[in-house]
Amino acid sequence: MTAELPPQASPNIQRIGHPDFTQDLDLTADELRSLLHLAADVKRFPQNYSSKLFGKSIALLFEKPSLRTRMTFELAIQQLGGFSILNDGPIGSREPLKDVARNLDRWVSGIVARTYLQKTVDDLARWAKVPVVNALSDTWHPCQALADMQTLQEHFGALRGLKFAFVGDGNNVAHSLMLNCARLGIDFVIANPPKYDASPEVIARSTLIAAQTGCTVTATHDPAEAARGAHAIYTDVWASMGAENEAAERRTAFADYQVDEDLFAQAEPNAVFMHCLPAKRGEEVTDAVIESPRSVVFDQAENRLHAQKALLLMLLA
C-alpha cells in the first residue's frame, strides 16, 4: 500500500497583478517564481487544492489540434473542482470576435485560447472582462515555458547559472523560453539556420532583461556552440502547425541542426534533453536521444498539468 503524504500547509496563492496571461511578461519575475513554487506544491499535495476552483467554469477555445494542452487544461480545471466547455474551430469566423468575447464573459469565469494569431488572444483579452490565457499562439507558448521551467527546477534545484541551449526554429516556443530563462538568471543560447532566426524584438528584450539578472542571451547559427557546456538542450519540430507547406524546404535547411548523440555529447554530463512534443524522430532529434535516460520530455508533459493548475489558481482562486 502506498503511504499517504502527510498534511502540509499550502503556500499562499499570490494573485497575478495582470488581469490576463496573454504572453510571458504578463507575469512579473516575482510572480513567475511564486508560480513555480506553487506548481511544485500542487504537484506534491494535489488534495490541498481539489476544491479551489469550485463553481468556476472555463471556456476552452481551440483553433489548433492538441493533445497535451487540451488534456492538461481540462484535467487541471476538473481536478481543481471547476468545469470546462470546449469549442473547436476558428474564433470569430461566424460572428465578430468581440461579440464572442462579450458572450463568453457573461457565462464563464475564464477563457483559455489556443490560436494561430497572437492578435486573436489579445483581442479576446481586450473585449472579455474575465481572465484570458494564451494556450499557444504563433508568437508565444507561455504555458509550455512554465512547465519547462518547473522541470528544470526539479532536475537542477537552483536555476541561476544554468546554460540552456535551444537548437532549431526561432519560433513561439523559443520566444517564451528565451524570456523566462532571462528572467530566472539562466544563460540562453539559440542556434538556428540563418533564415529562421527568432524575433529580433524578443532577442533585444530578453538581452536587456538578462543584463539586469546577470545572465546572457546569445543567438548563433552554430549548434555546437549552443550545445557546448549546456545543462539542457531543447528542440522542437522543424515545421510547426501552419508551416506544413514548408516542410521539405525546412528539412534541407535544418539538416545540420538535428540533436543527435554527437551534439548531445557536447553538453554537460548531467545535461537533460527537452522537447515540447510531438516530436518527429529522425528529424529534429534521434530516437536514441529522446529515449535516453537523460530525456525529460515526459516530465515536461506531466508538468503542463501542474504548472497550469498553478496559473489558474493565481488567476481565478
Instruction: Answer yes or no: is 290 within a domain.
Output: yes
- Answer positive or negative: Cα dihedral of 138, 144, 145, 148: negative
Claim to verify: residue 163 and residue 103 sit in the same structural domain: no
* Predicted pLDDT at 8: 64
233 and 284 inside one domain: yes
Same domain, 126 and 153: no
Asked if the structure places residue 18 within a domain, the reply is no
Classify residue 7: in a domain, yes or no: no
The one-letter amino acid code at 93 reads S
Domain of 88, CATH number, reads 3.40.50.1370
**What total of structural domains would you count in the chain?**
2
Q: Is 269 exposed, middle or buried (0-12, 13-18, 19+ CB in 10 A)?
A: exposed
Q: Is residue 11 part of a domain?
A: no
Length of the chain: 317
What residues make up the domain containing 180? 144-300
Same domain, 308 and 296: no
Compute φ and ψ for 235, nearest 5 degrees. -145, 170
| 208 belongs to a structural domain | yes
Q: Verify that 222 and 269 share a domain, yes or no.
A: yes
- Shared domain for 266 and 148, answered yes or no, is yes
Residue 63 sits in the same domain as residue 114: yes
The burial class, CB within 10 Å (0-12 / 13-18 / 19+), for 45 is: middle
- 10 Å Cβ neighbour count for 30? 11
Domain membership flag for residue 160: yes
135 and 148 co-located in one domain: no
The answer to whether residues 57 and 175 belong to one domain is no
Taking the CB of residue 75, how many other CB atoms lie within 10 A of it? 15
Tell me, yes or no, whether 221 lies in a domain. yes
Predicted pLDDT at 2: 43
Q: What pLDDT does 240 receive?
A: 82
My answer on whether 121 and 244 are in the same domain is: no
Record the cell numbers describing residue 146, joined without a space.
Answer: 512554465
Same domain flag for 163 and 293? yes
Amino acid 174: pLDDT: 98
Q: Is residue 16 part of a domain?
A: no
Q: What is the pLDDT of residue 236?
A: 98
Give the three-class secondary structure for 105.
helix
Confidence (pTM): 0.96
Could you give the residue numbers annotated as active site?
114, 141, 144, 236, 276, 304
Same structural domain for residues 116 and 254?
no
List the chain pLDDT tens, one digit each, 317 residues.
Answer: 444 445 567 788 999 999 999 999 999 999 999 999 999 999 999 999 999 999 999 999 999 999 999 999 999 999 999 999 999 999 999 999 999 999 999 999 999 999 999 999 999 999 999 999 999 999 999 999 999 999 999 999 999 999 999 999 999 999 999 999 999 999 999 999 999 999 999 999 999 999 999 999 999 999 999 999 999 999 999 988 777 888 899 999 999 999 999 999 999 999 999 999 999 999 999 999 999 999 999 999 999 999 999 999 999 99
